[in-house]
Amino acid sequence: GAVVSQHPSWVICKSGTSVKIECRSLDFQATTMFWYRQFPKQSLMLMATSNEGSKATYEQGVEKDKFLINHASLTLSTLTVTSAHPEDSSFYICSASGRPLETQYFGPGTRLLVL
């Protein structure tokens, strides 16, 4: 099946720093990428949906100025957590789908720990 990679797989940073997470579709063109967050023992929660070349659509309650999403190409989307705080510590997962929009392929996730 299609492969989606994420980098880094885990990151530890100090409070106040910004962290960038990359999501790449390795063998297909991802017209749409989704960013999710998962807290321990909870469901995945959709943060935002991004279509290549256009601005991301954020879910209610997700601050777009804090979680910057860029989907500049058909194979790469980035999520930047700006001025990270301990409450941003979570597991961030991306998924990607191509044309036509059907199965979403999930990345392996990025575990973020903000000290």
Partner 1 sequence: KNEVEQSPQNLTAQEGEFITINCSYSVGISALHWLQQHPGGGIVSLFMLSSGKKKHGRLIATINIQEKHSSLHITASHPRDSAVYICAVRDTASKLTFGTGTRLQVTL
Q: Which two tokens stand for residue 78?
A: 């980035």
Rank residues 38 and 82 by Cβ distance to partner 1 and give the closer one. Answer: 38
The 3-class secondary structure across 60-107, one letter per residue, is: CCCCCCCEEEEEEECCEEEEEECCCCHHHCEEEEEEEECCCCCCCEEC
DSSP 16: T
Q: Closest separation between CB of residue 22 and partner 1, Å?
A: 16
Binder among 8, 16, 53, 108 for partner 1 (CB under 8 A): 108
Site for partner 1 in 76-95 (CB under 8 A): 91, 93, 95
Contact residues toward partner 1 (CB under 8 A) are: 1, 32, 34, 38, 42-46, 49, 91, 93, 95, 97, 101-106, 108-109, 111
